Amino acid sequence: MLQQVNGHSSGSDAQGGGSLRKDLQKFLSGEAPLHQLDDLTKVNPVTLETVLRCLQARYAADTFYTNAGCTLVALNPFKPIPQLYSTALMREYHAAPQPQKLKPHIFTVGEQTYRNVKSLIEPVNQSIIVSGESGAGKTWTSRCLMKFYAVVAASPTSWESHKIAERIEQRILNSNPVMEAFGNACTLRNNNSSRFGKFIQLQLNRAQQMTGAAVQTYLLEKTRVACQASSERNFHIFYQICKGASTDERLQWHLPEGAAFSWLPNPERTLEEDCFEVTREAMLHLGIDNPTQNNIFQVLAGLLHLGNIRFADSEDEAQPCQLMGDAKCSIRTSASLLQLPEDPLLETLQIRTIRAGRQQQVFRKPCSRAECDTRRDCLAKLVYARLFDWLVSVINSSICADPDSWTTFIGLLDVYGFESFPNNSLEQLCINYANEKLQQHFVAHYLKAQQEEYTVEGLEWSFVNYQDNQTCLDLIEGSPISICSLINEDPVPPELNRLLQQSWDPLLKVLFPTDPEEQPSGQSRAPVLTVVSKFKASLEQLLQVLHSTTPHYIRCIKPNSQGQAHIFLQEQVLSQLEACGLVETIHISAAGFPIRISHQNFVERYELLRRLRARTSSGPHSPSPDERHSEGSPCTEAATLQPLLQDILHTLPALSQAAATLGDPAEATPAPVCCGRTKVFMTDSMLELLEHGRAQVLEQCARCIQRGWRQHWHRKQERQRQAAVLIQAAIRSWLTRKHVQRLHTAATVIKRAWKRWRIGMAFLASKELDGVEEKHVSPVPLSTGSCLLPQTQSSLLAAIIRLWPLGLVLANASVGVQGFRRKLVVWACLQLPTGSHSSYKVQTAQEQAGITSIRALPQGSVKFHCRKSPLPYADICPEPSPYSVTGFNQILLERHSLGHV
Ligand SMILES: Nc1ncnc2c1ncn2[C@@H]1O[C@H](COP(=O)(O)OP(=O)(O)OP(=O)(O)O)[C@@H](O)[C@H]1O
């Protein structure tokens, strides 16, 4: 292999070859093992040979993706590696803080585009241009990227929206088998070669969830319907219906087992793509129901039968060519399947109608055999191309989101690679033209624009030569004379269109509606569109879309043309590297600055990095630009930005240092950054560093805000707590006051009632006792009138109060003392004046039991109550209080109380 590399000469002279060998030796003596170089810009020196060896070493080590500056080089492994595309790996790239630090992968590109959309940095919309020659792995790559977005762009919050997103993703993924069945075919280079270009627009909503998609197709190779190179096949769908139809369907579509069709070469070769059921299932998911599907397959069967129509040479030019062999049967079957009238079908194939002259006179000219064949093929191509376009529109209506529901998109462009066969058709020219256009977009966007911008911005830059394909494009599309303008002829014969408009078939009626603008003569007023003009217009439109997006490039490389794993053919790879200008790309990427940000945007985004500087700077305080502003110096916008810019750029060493201490020594040396006249130029690693620093500052700010908020929240909580305590205390004291007031009122009420009751009771008792007195005792005769003198009365009362207990005791104690003696004792006890005994009377009530009380009546008598007093009130009279003696009732005592006295 080394021999091959060293021996390879890419057109350079012997001297150049010698220096390259030297370069290679220098490179080979490098320390890093080749297969470990993740980025081709790191090979030194960057030459085709060194790049090639690096790719080969990586391929041998089963490492299929390598960065080449702004481009990702994808080598086709030609063997299944499930773990390389697992959902777990997709999530790993999605969750990685810096996916660029992981191994190069298409998921890195996918994730980068997704993050770009999220960051909203203009241009927000992204496009991934997947290019490479047929069989290099473009479709595979696009499919994997779609799966990647289906996984990462579908993390909706609610279950319902999750289901919607899942359904949309399923539909988008289901569009693949349908488009591949109708648009892919087995070629010499690829068993599943896409015979059309496609741009898939994945539509994302504000939350970056996939809400829908739209597919735009380019130039289907419709020639394949009627003409296939030897060892190649027609579109997969024809084989699928012939192999997978049920017995009933075979009868319905006139496809008997083992039937031979001239447009179905190599039917014996069975591919995994021949699975009819998968296509039908996917069509069903896209909303194409079974009757419509049957209608489609019936039309396709009609085309197969059309292909079996053979014409014989006509001996007389004035006579139409006759059908050969069993072609009559074929035309009948074809007419019946396409629901066309049989005779007009045959006539349209055999006879050309020419309109000429002022009156548009119609001339009918029988066609030659070759012309008949061409018209037959043209009819089939026309039907198939319309059917394919209709399918794409059905797919779009099924997967396209409401325009209001999406805001951004990621576009995936999967275009056919350069093609060159021994016999090339118009399609090959168009395919190669498309590739030249895309290469020019890459050159214009990346190589040319970048270098020109460096010069305009005043950066020191030594220009890297690249292959500009503008002259090639001028040849194809330039004006006034170019290949396109010369071949811009050969529209479809109008009688074919008119014939198909006569069909009763529901599908063909949709595909070929009657043109309302058509003149009675059969001419349409619409401008005639040729294949080339249509293709050119759609290509221009595509490039406009690409120009409005941030492009990302994936170059698929085919290590060998046999599609074999573990085989790396250097010559074949080298030609692909040369064709896509990869070495120039690497050169510019290695030396250049892929990131360009305007001063204004740079300052706006990274101004907060100055905080880092303020914290780390130990030198004398330099006035901040704001402070300088406040000094009032009149300055232009640019002059205002400059100091800010410088301030930000001065933080870079600190940032690099911080990154190095965090364990990435490569970051210790500040990544290159250049300040142009209006823009800041930098490398990816510089951008990464800045973003890292910005994230750090934002995190600190967030922490600071959190801390402030927490403090504020705690203070607020504390104030609220104190206020609550105050309110509680006030309410409690108010409640207590209310309660006490109520108690007080109640006590007053009770007191009043109690007093009233006591008075009442005392009155009743008094009345009762007085009543007894009245019954038993006649009023005491008083010496002076009917009542005692006030002085006598009061002294008597005082005596009674003072001495009645003694009297009571004596009265009780001297049970044996009777009559007058007893009275004497009582008088003595009561210290009644003996001389005046006639003025009051002492009476004891001691008939049945012991004395329970003594009562000195105002009339001058003292009354003793027996225990078994018949009085209902006097006995229950409340306890007397020393302060509330209001009458004699209070001295009534129970006998047992007397014992204690
Ligand atoms: N990453 C991969 N891993 C495994 N096999 C792959 C990978 N990429 C491509 N292949 C194989 O290579 C074949 C060709 O790939 P693909 O159809 O994607 O090529 P292409 O570039 O789209 O070709 P065309 O332009 O003809 O459509 C696939 O059928 C598949 O077998």
What pLDDT, in 10s, does the model give residues 218-232?
888 888 999 888 888
Question: Contact at 8 Å (CB) between 387 and 511?
Answer: yes
Domain co-membership, 782 together with 888:
yes
Q: 558 C-alpha vs ligand 1 centroid, how far in Å?
A: 9
- Final residue belonging to a domain, choices 700, 724, 741: 700
Nearest-CA residue for atom 11 of ligand 1 = 78
> For 777-818, where are the alpha helices, taking DSSP H only?
790-813
State the pLDDT at residue 399.
87
Can you give the residue range of the structural domain that contains 624?
A: 595-628+635-700
Task: Indicate which atom in ligand 1 lies nearest the CA of residue 417.
Answer: 25
Is the separation of the CB atoms in 218 and 197 below 8 Å? yes
Average pLDDT over residues 179-203: 91
Q: Which of 197-211, 300-314, 664-678 has the lowest mean pLDDT?
A: 664-678
CB 871 within 8 A of CB 744: no
> Strand 65-68 vs strand 361-366: parallel, antiparallel, or unpaired?
unpaired
Specify whether 696 is located in the same domain as 781.
no
CA 867 from centre of chain: 102
Distance 414 CA to ligand 1 centre (A): 12
Q: For the chain, how big is the Rg over CA atoms in Å?
A: 57
| 863 has binding-site annotation | no
Q: What pLDDT sits at residue 629?
A: 40
Predicted confidence band of residue 238 (pLDDT cuts 50, 70, 90): very high
What pLDDT is stored for residue 636 in this prediction?
Answer: 58
Q: Looking at ligand 1, which atom is closest to the CA of residue 80? A: 4
The most distant pair of C-alpha atoms in the chain lies apart, rounded to whole Å, by 191
Q: How confident is the model at residue 872 (pLDDT cuts 50, 70, 90)?
A: low
3-state SS record for 595-631: EEEEHHHHHHHHHHHHHHHHHHCCCCCCCCHHHHHHC
Task: Output DSSP code: residue 794.
Answer: H
Query: Considering the chain, what percentage of its residues have pLDDT values greater than 90?
Result: 32
Q: Residues 588, 593, 599, 605: what is their CA dihedral angle, to the nearest 10 degrees?
A: 140
For residues 898 and 273, the model is more confident at 273
Q: Write out pLDDT tens, residues 68-119.
A: 877 899 999 999 998 999 999 999 999 998 888 899 999 999 999 999 998 8
Q: Which ligand 1 atom is the nearest neighbour of the CA of 142?
A: 18
Collapse the DSSP code of 700 into the 3-class scheme (helix H, G, I; strand E, B; otherwise coil) and give the result.
helix
Residue 13 has pLDDT above 50, yes or no: no
Taking CA atoms, 305 is separated from 12, 253, 381, 492, in Å, by 55, 10, 14, 21
Q: Name, of 193-202, 718-727, 783-792, 840-849, the range with top average pLDDT.
A: 718-727
Mean pLDDT within 820-841: 52
Distance CA 766, CA 399 (A): 111
Q: How much is the pLDDT for 136?
A: 92
Strands 184-185 and 126-131: unpaired
Q: Is 134 annotated as a binding residue?
A: yes
**Which of these ranges, 310-319, 329-338, 375-384, 721-730, has the smallest mean pLDDT?**
310-319
Residue 882 lies in a domain: yes
* pLDDT reading at 626 higher than 80: no
Is 122 known as a binding-site position? no
Ligand 1 pocket test: pick from 76, 224, 416 the residue with the most ligand atoms within 8 Å of its Cβ: 76
Please count the structural domains in the chain: 2
C-alpha 717/C-alpha 587 separation (Å) is: 63
The encoded tokens of residue 124 equal 């927000």
> Quick check: ipTM above 0.90?
yes
CB 363 within 8 Å of CB 204: no
* Contact in structure between 240 and 301 (CB atoms under 8 Å): no
Whether 639 is covered by a domain: the verdict is: yes
Q: Which residues line ligand 1 (CB under 6 A)?
A: 76-81, 132, 134-140, 190, 192-194, 416-417, 556
**CA 143 to ligand 1: nearest atom:** 18
pLDDT of residue 281: 93
For residue 556, the surrounding DSSP H or E stretch is: strand 550-557
Q: Which helix (H) or strand (E) holds 71?
A: strand 71-75
Residues 787 and 894 in one domain: yes
Q: 866 pLDDT exceeds 60?
A: no
**What does the alpha-carbon distance between residue 657 and residue 651 come to, in Å, rounded to a whole number?**
10
899 is an annotated ligand-binding site residue: no
- Decide: 480 and 436 in contact? Cβ < 8 Å: no
Q: Quick one: 684 and 793 in the same domain?
A: no
pLDDT of amino acid 337: 96
Mean pLDDT, range 850-855, rounded to an integer: 54
* Statement to judge: residues 784 and 695 lie in one domain: no
CA of 512 to the centre of ligand 1 (A): 35
SS3 state of residue 591: helix
Cα separation of 897 and 442, whole Å?
Answer: 126
Q: Is 457 annotated as a binding residue?
A: no
Average pLDDT, the chain: 77
Instruction: Give dist(CA 897, CA 877) in Å, integer.
Output: 14
132 is in an annotated binding site: yes
- Per-position DSSP letters for 186-231, written without gaps between them: --SS-TTEE-SEEEEEEEE-TT--EEEEEEEEE---THHHH---TT
Given a cut of 60, whether residue 27 has pLDDT beyond it is no
Ligand 1 pocket test, candidate residues 85, 129, 140, most atoms within 8 A of CB: 140
User: Do 602 and 689 reside in the same domain of the chain?
Assistant: yes
The residues near 11 (Cβ < 8 Å, ≥ 6 apart) are none
Choosing from 700, 715, 748, the residue where a domain stops is 700
Flag whether 310 is in a domain: no
State mean pLDDT over 441-446. 74
**pLDDT > 90? residue 185:** yes
Name the 3-class secondary structure at 842.
strand
Claim to verify: residue 783 and residue 889 sit in the same structural domain: yes
Is 181 annotated in a binding site? The answer is no
Q: From the CA of 733, how far away is ligand 1's center (Å)? A: 86
pLDDT of residue 534: 79
Nearest protein Cα to ligand 1, atom 16: 137
- Among 319, 338, 343, CA closest to 379: 338
Q: How far is 523 from 232, CA to CA, in rounded Å?
A: 38
Q: Give 108 Cα–ligand 1 centroid separation in angstroms.
A: 19
- Smallest CA separation from ligand 1 atom 9, residue: 137
Interhelix angle 276-285/236-244, rounded to 10 degrees, is 110
Angle at 84 between CA 81 and CA 88, to 5 degrees: 130
pLDDT digits (tens, 9 = 90+) for 467-481: 677 788 888 877 777
Residues 799 and 888 in one domain: yes
| pLDDT confidence tier of residue 886, bands split at 50, 70 and 90 | very low
Alpha-carbon gap, residue 16 to 601, rounded angstroms? 45
Ligand 1 geometric centre to CA of 705 (Å): 52
Domain assignment of residue 179, yes or no: no
- Closest residue CA from atom 25 of ligand 1: 134
pLDDT for res 324: 86
The answer to the question of residue 527 being in a domain is: no
Consult the annotation and say whether 135 binds a ligand. Answer: yes
Give residue 289's identity as a one-letter amino acid code: D
pLDDT band at 10 (very low <50, low <70, confident <90, very high): very low
Of all residues in the chain, the percent with pLDDT exceeding 70 is 71
Side chain identity at residue 72, one-letter code: L
- Statement: residue 622 has pLDDT above 60: no
CA of 56 to the centre of ligand 1 (A): 19
Does the pLDDT value for residue 835 go beyond 70?
no
252 CA distance to ligand 1 centroid (A)?
36
Counting from 1 in the atom list of ligand 1, the atom nearest the Cα of 184 is 27
| Residue 856 parent element (H or E) | strand 851-856
The answer as to whether 823 is a domain residue is yes
Task: Let me know if residue 300 belongs to a domain.
Answer: no
CA of 249 to the centre of ligand 1 (A): 33
Examine the fold and report which residue of 646, 669, 700 is the final residue of a domain before the chain moves on.
700
Residues with Cβ within 8 Å of residue 218, at least 6 apart in sequence: 196, 197, 198, 199, 415, 434, 535, 538, 539, 542
- Does residue 406 form part of some domain? no
User: Minimum mean pLDDT among 287-291, 389-393, 533-537, 742-746: which range?
Assistant: 533-537
Q: What is the pLDDT of residues 756-775, one digit of tens each?
A: 887 887 777 766 665 554 44
Considering the domain architecture, whether residues 889 and 792 belong to the same structural domain is answered as yes
pLDDT for residue 192 is more than 50: yes
Nearest to 873 by CA among 765, 796, 738, 718: 765
- pLDDT at position 811, please? 52
